[in-house]
Amino acid sequence: MNSLIPLLVAAPLAGAALLLLGGRALDRFGHWIATALAALSFAFGLALFADMLGRDAEHRAVVERLYTWIPVDGFQADISFQLDQLSIVFVLLITGVGSLIHLYSVGYMAHDERRRRFFGYLNLFLAAMLILVLADNYLLLYVGWEGVGLASYLLIGFWQHKPSAATAAKKAFIVNRVGDMGLSVAIMLMFAEFGSFAFGPVFGAAGDASQGKLTAIALMLLLAACGKSAQVPLQSWLGDAMEGPTPVSALIHAATMVTAGVYLITRSAAIFNLAPDAQTAVVVVGAVTLVFGAIVGCAKDDIKKALAGSTMSQIGYMIMAAGLGPIGYAFAIMHLVTHGFFKAGLFLGAGSVMHGMNDEVNMRHYGGLRKYMPVTFWTFLLGTGALIGFPLLSGFWSKDKIIDAAFAKGGAEGWILGLCALTGAVITAFYMTRVVLLTFFGEKRWQPDGDGNLPHPHESPKTMTIPMIVLAFGSVFAGGLFTLGSSFLNFLEPVTGHQEGHPPFNSYVVSVIATVCMLAGVGLAYVMYGRGPVPVKAPVGSLLTRAARRDLLQDDFNHAVLVRPGSALAATLVWFDSKGLDGFVNGLAAAIGGLSGRLRRIQTGYVRTYALSMFGGTLVLVASTLLMRSV
Amino acid sequence: MISTHVLAAVGGNSPSIPAPHIEYGQLSPMLVVFGAALVGVLAEAFLPRRLRAAAQLGISLVGLVGGFVAVVVLAAQGHASTRAGLLAMGSVAIDGPALFLQGVILLTAVLAVLTYAEGRLEPRINGHRIDAFAAQAAAVPGGEQEREATREGLRTTEIYPLTLFAVGGMLLFPASNDLLTMFVALEVLSLPLYLMCAIARRRRLLSQEAAVKYFLLGAFASAFFLFGTALVYGYAGTLRLGEIADVVAGTAPVTPALAVTTQNDALLLIGLAMLAVGLLFKVGAVPFHSWTPDVYQGAPTPVSGFMAAATKTAAFGALLRLFYVAFPGIRWDWRPVMWGVAILTMVVGSILAVTQQDVKRLLAYSSVAHAGFILTGLIATDRRGVAAVLFYLLAYSFVTLGAFAVVTLVRDSKGEATHLSNWAGLGRRSPLLAAVFALFLLAFAGIPLTSGFTGKFAVFQAAAGGGATPLVIVGVLSSAIAAFFYIRVIVLMFFSDPQPSGPAVAVPSTLTATAIAFGVLVTLGLGLLPQYFLDLATKASVFIR
């Protein structure tokens, strides 16, 4: 059975190779190959999952070693996969939601002439993400990590003819590189400290390492997580990444990429648990991001960017939960999975709306779409309900647990975190209700597109609606199923460990407060957007609104603090390089050339000159030999 | 002992000269080659003209391959290691270095002879295939006699026996165990080479000029060598290298004569310096290098390749034996001087090559620079140094021969197009040939995965191990300069636009193709899997005394 593990990765990898190298012959049916391989990988995942459930908890983790990748004395890197409870959750999420997104893309990308390439990249994305979550050492994880970065670059910039897409892809890649540096430094530190980067030896020896070293490693891992998971301060790429085709956004936000950071922190629990300072940093990052993303989400008129803000915020919840330590890991992962369902559903819904509205993304140009797109409307509504934590829907269960855990942290810290989380819940309810109201309710504000055609909204084809329906089921039931008898918690516990939190008040109270907060947000949104007509052109808005529209000035900040000094430094270095180094090098070359020209003149072609030089040389040789003796 | 024989013979008052004892078996590589040379002379005299070229090629190949087989058999019998010994009354030493270098020389000579026989490059004359050598070497260039000889499709097939004689001398050179034998070997290898340089078919005046220059300067250098021999004899009272070493070390029994002469170290030191001059001339070390570019350029290209590879190998063999067998006791005297020579050779060779516009001159200066690199290995004065030099010579010989063979193929109506401007864009027109030449250039530059890298690494490692780190630094810097002009040619070939009326690349017969292919094979083989040959060189690195 374990031999299926490499096949999990191999299936989408083979698909990527086939589609990217296969040429035009595969244009007609290549997308089906990719979808089938993704589904095949999912089937393998299910089989392995069933197999795993058949064993008792201690024996569920298995390692499948393929071969030694770098066999150097004292530096051993294996291509070796580890499938445990944490990995299988990710595997099922990645391949399951990933397969649905593949299916959806068949319809969504039907008219794109580079469709085959698109599916090749999708498969590559899945393969890289699977390597990331299945690796049994940090070096192989790094391979997957970089593979995810590459695939996201290719997909975000898929419509490379649009300069904005190309720029967004580059931005995502560069910002991610900053995080990648963190991971590579962390791996180097690990190797220096533990002499290995395989999970087993590192976690086993973590207890013996000094506090400072562990904190350094953990902070570097956090930096890496911030990059991939779009957490403050490396969050700026996520909004721009909406330039990619919508299925890509769904894939990045729900099943792959942004979850990698949460995975990394949860996987490295053994290190973080021993580095409380780093954990505090994680919690702060999570809390700041969850509020930050929510505020940004409120101000955006672009439906995808509003959802992007939401993702940032929700991942913030997960990071915060992971930072809480053993009381939070399992809930972070649980929220990650439920979020995977409803966020994928929401993005696919948004894509469906855009599909029907001539690729319009401005919500102020939507309105009244519920009658035209009933399936999209209902699935989107259920996804929204799940996201804002409507009672009994998926998000309700998982988010409440996180709020619970935040309060359970105890002391002032617990109160601050809990209040942050509740504030986030209010804002989340507000902006999601706003999205639904602007899109599906109210009067039609449709605008003609660039060619002057008014949109004719219509329901999307089956390949697109079926995945949305499936995901809507997940949005509704997953949370409840996971919570029933604490099944998810018990399943994950052997890997992440669990510690019951003790919030200052009963967890039912938390649920009630959270629900009240949610309703407050919904009500506020209804008051602002549900009752009167919505202006087609956005009003100027308050200072905060204007700042939030600009992503709370994140780009301005980066530009002022990083880009401008960076360019200045680069310009200085270029100047130094071209004037100083090149000058020296060119000067040296010229000097040698000149010397060569001089020396050539000795080569007169006359034997007498040659003989003379030999004679002179002999004299010198004889003299210096004699001289050596006398000295 | 030879010296006493000689003296006795000159004196004429000795009733009987005891016949020297000759170990024919162990001398067989040389004997086979010299025998083949004599057969070649006879063939030249008695065979009809039309059969000569093929017959001479056959005789040469049989002789050279036979010699090589003899070398291999001797080595297999242990004459390179356990059974190494002094032969022919102590005047010849057959040991590891001697056999190793003899093998290298013979293999290079086989490939060189293949390139001699190439008949497809020049256009046929009256249906006769012609080669790179003058129709009739004695005819005045541009004269009526020459035109007639050319019309009749004559060929100077004497080149083959001449080469065999030269090879014979080269085999003896690194194996000679006394100074007089060494001198004789030097002359036996040099005199045929002087002639061979003179018989290019095209640009005959340049060729003859080169030969005269080489002869005059070579004679000058030989004179130094002979004078050095005399001075050392004056000091040590013997010509045997091993006995000289004993005298220098003070372990020889002190005779009254020795007691006087060994008072005067100047005899020894001046003699040593002059012996070195004679050999450094042959390897082309600065400041005794000035003949190299002129001669390499003027000589027929296959001969240039042969000289650059085999002569250098033989001369370095002799140099090694001289310094390691006769003068290890005064290495503190000669090492600093050789340091200077090595540095000067590397630096001047590299720098002068930078501005060369002719590919044969470029290769000549490159060979000067390489002589410098090899000298760094020699200066290590230990076994590793010997092994490194042996390996380097093996690697270098084949690259050089291959490179010169490629030069013979790039031609225009006036023969070989050796001016570098003609090589522009060659990579577009003949990608394979340009790639092969690029490989050889990369090997010269010492880029990893080629034999050049392994060789250079070996000599530098030996030098650094022998305490000559500054020398290694100079060597690496010179390599950087050298890399510039090698890579410049590659850039020229692949990244420049071809000239509209540029040269064509002639399609060679299997003869030249074999030589080039063998060069490529060895270059890559020694770069990728050098260990076997490194071990072989290490095993062969002990001199017998």
pLDDT in tens, A383-434: 999 999 888 888 888 888 888 888 888 788 888 999 999 999 999 999 999 9
Q: Among candidates A253, A283, A288, A265, which has minimal Cα distance to A218?
A: A265
Helix, strand, coil in percent for chain A, rounding step 5: 75, 5, 20
Q: Supply the pLDDT for residue B374.
A: 96
With b for 16 or more beta-carbon neighbours within 10 A and e for fewer, the B146-159 pattern comes to beebbeebbbbbbb
pLDDT in tens, A484-535: 878 888 888 888 888 877 777 777 888 898 899 999 999 998 888 878 777 7
What's the rounded mean pLDDT across residues A242-265?
87
Q: Supply the pLDDT for residue B8.
A: 45
CB contact under 8 A, B354 and A628: no
Q: Among candidates B340, B337, B341, B223, which has minimal Cα distance to B286?
A: B341
Query: Is beta strand B415-416 parallel, antiparallel or unpaired with respect to B504-505?
Result: unpaired
Residue B392 falls within a domain, yes or no?
yes
B358 CB within 8 Å of a chain A CB: no
CB A83 within 8 Å of CB A443: no
Searching chain B, which residue's CA lies closest to the CA of residue A628?
Answer: B333
Q: Number of C-alpha atoms within 13 angstroms, CB side, residue B55?
A: 17
CB B275 within 8 Å of CB B322: yes
C-alpha A65/C-alpha B134 separation (Å) is 70
User: Which residue positions in chain B have pLDDT lower than 70?
Assistant: 1-15
CB contact under 8 A, B277 and A618: yes
Nearest CA of chain B to the CA of A597: how many Å? 7
pLDDT in tens, B337-385: 999 999 999 999 999 999 899 999 999 999 999 999 999 999 988 899 9
Which of B209, B217, B232, B269 to probe the A interface (max A CBs under 10 A)? B269
Q: Which of residues 290-319 of B touch A (CB under 8 A)?
A: 290-291, 293-294
CB contact under 8 A, A614 and B287: yes
**How many domains is chain B partitioned into structurally?**
1
DSSP A302: B
Residue B545 falls within a domain, yes or no?
no
DSSP B124: P
Angle at alpha carbon of residue B381, lines to B375 and B387, rounded to 5°: 75
User: CB neighbours (10 Å) of residue B8?
Assistant: 13
C-alpha A390/C-alpha A396 separation (Å) is 6
From residue A53, alpha-carbon distances to A49, A336, A455 in Å are: 6, 21, 50
Could you give phi then psi for residue A244, rounded to 5 degrees? -70, 165
Q: Supply the pLDDT for residue B1.
A: 44
CB B96 within 8 Å of CB B539: yes
Give alpha helix (H) positions in B355-468.
359-379, 383-407, 426-429, 431-445, 451-465
**Which residues from A are below 8 Å from B351, CB to CB?**
592, 595-596, 599
CB B475 within 8 Å of CB B378: no
Give the E-state strand segments of A513-593 in sequence order: none
Residue B80 falls within a domain, yes or no?
yes
Q: Number of C-alpha atoms within 13 angstroms, CB side, residue B20?
A: 14
Could you give phi then psi for residue A580, rounded to 5 degrees? -80, -70
Closest by Cβ to A618, choosing from B216, B274, B351 = B274
Nearest CA of chain A to the CA of B214: how many Å? 9
Residue A572 identity (one-letter amino acid): T
Residue B9 falls within a domain, yes or no?
no
What's the rounded mean pLDDT across residues A60-73?
81
Q: Supply the pLDDT for residue B264.
A: 85
Instruction: Give the pLDDT band of residue A560 (cuts 50, 70, 90).
Output: confident
- What is the pTM for the complete model shown? 0.68
Q: Which of residues 574-593 of A touch B (CB under 8 A)?
A: 589, 592-593
User: CB neighbours (10 Å) of residue A21?
Assistant: 9
CB A81 within 8 Å of CB A63: yes
Of all helices (H) and strands (E), which one includes residue B410? strand B410-412
A160 CB within 8 Å of a chain B CB: no
Q: Among candidates B173, B208, B202, which has minimal Cα distance to B189?
A: B173
Q: Supply the pLDDT for residue A631.
A: 64
CB contact under 8 A, B481 and A602: no
Residue B279 falls within a domain, yes or no?
yes
User: CB neighbours (10 Å) of residue A14?
Assistant: 16
The range of the structural domain enclosing residue B320 comes to: 17-539
| Most confident by average pLDDT, A118-132, A295-309, A390-404, A579-593 | A118-132
Instruction: Report the complex ipTM.
Output: 0.90
Residue B66 falls within a domain, yes or no?
yes
Closest by Cβ to B333, choosing from A592, A614, A628 = A628
Give the E-state strand segments of B31-182 in sequence order: 85-87, 92-94
Query: Residue B93, by phi and psi: left (phi above 0), alpha (psi -120 to 50) or beta?
Result: beta
Angle at alpha carbon of residue A230, lines to A300 and A570, rounded to 5°: 100
**Is the N-terminal amide bond of A233 cis, ω within 30° of 0?**
yes
Helix, strand, or coil here: A98?
A: helix
**Which residues from A are below 8 Å from B212, CB to CB?**
607
What's the rounded mean pLDDT across residues A184-206?
90
C-alpha B85/C-alpha A366 separation (Å) is 101
Q: Supply the pLDDT for residue B14.
A: 59
**Which residues from B are below 8 Å from A614, CB to CB?**
217, 220-221, 277, 281, 287-288, 290
Joined tokens for residue A131: 């390597």
Q: Among candidates B202, B205, B268, which has minimal Cα distance to B235?
A: B268
- Sheet of strand B504-505: strand arrangement: B415-416, B410-412, B504-505
C-alpha B499/C-alpha B483 separation (Å) is 25
C-alpha A415/C-alpha A316 separation (Å) is 17
C-alpha B116/C-alpha B133 separation (Å) is 8
What's the rounded mean pLDDT across residues A77-105?
90
Q: Among candidates A145, A127, A5, which has minimal Cα distance to A66?
A: A5
Q: Supply the pLDDT for residue B428.
A: 87
Q: Supply the pLDDT for residue A364.
A: 85
Could you give phi then psi for residue A63, rounded to 5 degrees? -120, 130
C-alpha B539/C-alpha B97 separation (Å) is 9
Residue B4 falls within a domain, yes or no?
no
Helix, strand, or coil here: B259?
A: helix
Question: Is a pLDDT exceeding 70 seen at residue A102?
Answer: yes
Q: Supply the pLDDT for residue B373.
A: 96
Joined tokens for residue A485: 């008898």
Question: Is a pLDDT exceeding 80 seen at residue A74?
Answer: no
CB A467 within 8 Å of CB A103: yes
Question: Is a pLDDT exceeding 50 seen at residue A116?
Answer: yes
Helix, strand, or coil here: A60?
A: coil
User: Considering chain A, what is the average pLDDT of its residues?
Assistant: 88
How far is Cα of residue B488 from the mean position of the Cα atoms in its chain? 26
Residue B11 falls within a domain, yes or no?
no
Q: Supply the pLDDT for residue B318.
A: 96
